Structure 1
């Protein structure tokens, strides 16, 4: 049993205005793409991409629209998780670095790539005034934070912080995995910033 239940098993979710509007848009899109005005799907989606939908079974147009909606929902959740992750790393490193400026801490031994990323972020952060730690954190890309968690920094960064189509993806399990990681970083964050019910309802509408 998944923490968030089974896809589509969300009582009353269909009555929510925002979700109903989203689902109505999906339905309209499906009808439009399947209409006589679009007799050949290959005109708007490559044959190679359609192949993955055909192989999954069901209507290729409906599966394409469903995949777009479900993917967008998961990306929104991952976006929130990224914000949580980067801010937790920033706080942990700041607490163990001189003046809280971990990006200048030589003991972290940031490599040339990381230092270049920091330099670019600082430049962008000071473009409209004095730079602050918050601006720097916001300007650093997700790739930078992922790089900080690579094995390269297993003896420097890690000890300080302790730590394609998705047709065949088990969305409920993915949500559970994201919740587990987010809860470890910031307990209770998933329930306050993420509409899990919306994503589960979309998952349940898979054609």
Structure 2
């Protein structure tokens, strides 16, 4: 069970600022108008909302990669990633790295699971419009009308950027996090309405956003 943090007295705040580094803490201190206790509360809140967004992104990533893999398999076979005419050199390199991490287990499903979000995002890029999107990948998004590649690439690229910021523990205070959560649900819904509904129903992002710290200097609700 999560416990409420102990009060942020002056000595404790100084210690935590040293632990977090003055450079990192400065972002939150600025957002809190110089109030260190409010800045620490804001830092705690961002960790909570980052965890909620990360959970939503994890659900989307699995749904997305499986949908793309299914369509590429249907069109090019289960080992589509070994067809040199399909992927550019860097993406083939990603597959090689994935294989090395598996230490001998090279089933298509295992390889797909090892390929990161960036790999799948780049399969939606303009360079693959004719090689992958038109013959195969557009079918992964039956809920997208009309089926324009850029209409999927844009939100997935945005979400990949968000995922990287969260993975590197970077601040996301300036982002429209409600829009990010909606973007995750929308892309999942393009793949399957049930997936979009599942992410919406299990997401805690809206609840945490509604609890943004209300200190006057933070401008919260």
Report Cα offsets for 1:173-192 as digits up to 9, x if no partner: 22111111110012211433
1:14-49 Cα distance to aligned partner (Å, 9 max, x none): xxxxxxx44xx3x32xx25x1355141431222222
State the match for 1:82 in structure 2.
61
Distance verdict in 2 for CA 1:91–1:39, change over 3 Å: closer
Report Cα offsets for 1:93-151 as digits up to 9, x if no partner: 11111x3321123442x122111221232344452x5x321111112222222222233
Number of corresponding residues: 176
- Extract unaligned runs of 5+ from structure 2: 139-148, 150-169, 214-221
Q: Name 1:100's counterpart in structure 2.
A: 78
Alpha-carbon distance in 2 for matches of 1:65, 1:76: 17
Q: Matched residues in 2 for 1:169 and 1:120: separation?
A: 32
CA RMSD of aligned residues (A): 2.2
2:42 counterpart residue number: 63
Task: Measure how far apart 1:80 and its partner are.
Answer: 1.2
Higher relative contact order (CA 8 A, sep 6+): 1
| 8 Å Cα contact 2:189-2:197 kept in structure 1 | no
Q: Hey, what does 2:171 align to over in structure 1?
A: 165
1:133 corresponds to = 108
How far apart in 2 are the matches of 1:117 and 1:166? 28
TM superposition outliers: structure 1 runs of 4+ over 3 Å: 123-126
- Structure 1: unaligned runs, 5 residues or longer: 1-20
Are residues 176 and 185 of structure 1, via their aligned partners in 2, closer, same or farther at CA, if it must alter by over 3 Å?
A: same
TM-score with structure 2 length normalisation? 0.70
